[in-house]
Copies of this chain bind each other. A is one copy, B any other.
Amino acid sequence: MIDLVEPLLAGDRRALARLLTAIENERPGVEAALAALFSYTGRTWVIGVTGAPGTGKSSLVNALAKAYRAHGETVGILAVDPTSPFTGGAILGDRIRMRDLSGDKGVFIRSMATRGNLGGLSRAARDAIRAFDAAGFDRVLVETVGAGQSEIDIVRAAHTTLVVEAPGLGDDVQAIKAGILEIADVLVVNKADRVGVENTIRGLKTMLELGHPASRAQLMQHHGQLLPADTSSNGHNESFWLPPILRTVATDGQGIDEVLRAIDAHREHLLRTGILQLERGQIEIELHERLQAALVARFLSQIPVDSIAAIIDRVQNRAVDPQGAVNQLLALMELPKSLKVNE
């Protein structure tokens, strides 16, 4: 795997493709390659695109990529599907829709689906973004299908997050977007030529006023109150970036330039204010996840498999509750040390 590093840095697209496949399949040697690439990352601008099904995210990503290409910028596209472990209905659709980008060497499109393990996809997505970054793409567009926690985890690796909405998707879908609204840096109402667009925009404005942290912060400032630092946020909010609401018809390019300008405005805002905190927060989350995985792996290698099977039996028979079982397992690991103390 390490032999891919040099060609990838030199712009070889096949090396990039091979590394991305290795990342998705968690092949051995990937870690070493990513470690070697790491010092070449941190140059691209990562744009997350998420939103409920039916909003036309893929068409929007397509249109954004074309617009960036028209400005001479190179674009990596990562289409992530956290919902489908085994087929690629949506992914296939994306590919078809992105057909008019193919043949252009300044664009590289990659789809990625789950391999079933929890958290594995957001980790793979993060590593894939780094591969694009080291390969020198000016922009990386990360599109997620759906609107749940997994999507939020994935776009957390982005610098600027677009939340896409569309008119006429029904109440149930409207409700879904409440959660992802919090992570929006730019709100895009796509399919804006449809009836009901004014309702959608009015709804978004109301939700923004009620729900967005920056909006709450601004309201508080407006009322002359002191704002408590929000350490749990990703750094977007403390500096009062209120997401603009933009209209697009992605399929014919309407409104795309405005989205590009909003992304750049958000970028300039972040570079001026919270980029370091944003990156720090992202690194902290990543180290936490990697630490978890490493600690569990090491622990399990120290405990006999029989003990684990035995403790599962005891939980199943209701002889011990799950947290009690974990405490017993932890005590097993400490046993040698305490024996020494007793000697």
Q: Is A41 part of the contact surface with B, judged by Cβ < 8 Å? A: yes
User: In the complex, how many angstroms separate the beta carbon of A81 from the nearest chain B beta carbon?
Assistant: 8
Given A211-B86, A294-B330, A316-B279, also A176-B114 (CB < 8 A)? no
Q: Is A151 part of the contact surface with B, judged by Cβ < 8 Å? A: yes
Q: Is A84 part of the contact surface with B, judged by Cβ < 8 Å? A: yes
CB nearest neighbor in B for A147: B83
Interface of chain A residues 162 through 176 with chain B (CB within 8 A) = 169-176
Given A148-B146, A295-B292, also A87-B211 (CB < 8 A)? yes
Specify which of B83, B175, B325 is in contact with A179 (CB 8 Å cutoff): B83
Q: Is A296 part of the contact surface with B, judged by Cβ < 8 Å? A: yes
What mask results when residues 101 to 141 of chain A are scored 1 for a CB within 8 Å of chain B, else 0?
A: 00000000000001010110100000000000000000000
Tell me how many chains of this kind the complex includes.
Answer: 2
| Interface pair A83/B148, CB less than 8 Å apart | yes
- From A32-40, A70-78, A243-251, A257-265, give the one contacting chain B: A32-40
Which residues from B are CB-within-8-Å of A279?
316
Q: Is A14 part of the contact surface with B, judged by Cβ < 8 Å? A: no
Q: Is A283 part of the contact surface with B, judged by Cβ < 8 Å? A: yes
What mask results when residues 3 to 41 of chain A are scored 1 for a CB within 8 Å of chain B, else 0?
A: 000000000000000000000000000010011001101
State A39–B322 Cα separation when bound (angstroms): 11
| Interface pair A172/B322, CB less than 8 Å apart | no
CB nearest neighbor in B for A312: B283
Residue of A114, A311, A312, A322 with highest tally of chain B CB at under 10 A: A322
| Interface pair B323/A35, CB less than 8 Å apart | yes
State the main secondary structure of chain A at its contact with B. Answer: helix
CB nearest neighbor in B for A180: B83
CB nearest neighbor in B for A32: B323
Which residues from B are CB-within-8-Å of A179?
81-86, 114
State A147–B114 Cα separation when bound (angstroms): 14
State A311–B284 Cα separation when bound (angstroms): 10
Specify which of B118, B283, B299 is in contact with A295 (CB 8 Å cutoff): B299
| Interface pair A176/B34, CB less than 8 Å apart | no
State A269–B318 Cα separation when bound (angstroms): 23
User: In the complex, how many angstroms separate the beta carbon of A225 from the nearest chain B beta carbon?
Assistant: 20
State A295–B326 Cα separation when bound (angstroms): 10
State A38–B330 Cα separation when bound (angstroms): 20
| Interface pair A322/B38, CB less than 8 Å apart | yes
> CB within 8 Å of B: which residues of A?
31, 34-35, 38-39, 41-42, 52-54, 81-87, 89-90, 93, 114, 116, 118-119, 121, 145-151, 153, 169-180, 182, 207, 210-211, 232, 276, 279-280, 283-284, 286-288, 290-292, 294-296, 298-299, 308, 311-312, 315-316, 318, 321-327, 329-330
Q: A-B pairs with the 9 shortest C-beta distances?
A: A148-B148, A89-B175, A83-B179, A38-B321, A90-B175, A149-B150, A84-B179, A53-B172, A35-B321
Instruction: Pull 22 A–B residue pairs with CB atoms less than 8 Å apart, ordered by A.
Output: A31-B323, A39-B318, A39-B321, A53-B173, A54-B173, A82-B149, A85-B182, A87-B210, A89-B171, A118-B149, A121-B149, A145-B176, A146-B176, A149-B150, A150-B150, A287-B311, A287-B315, A291-B296, A292-B292, A292-B295, A295-B295, A295-B296
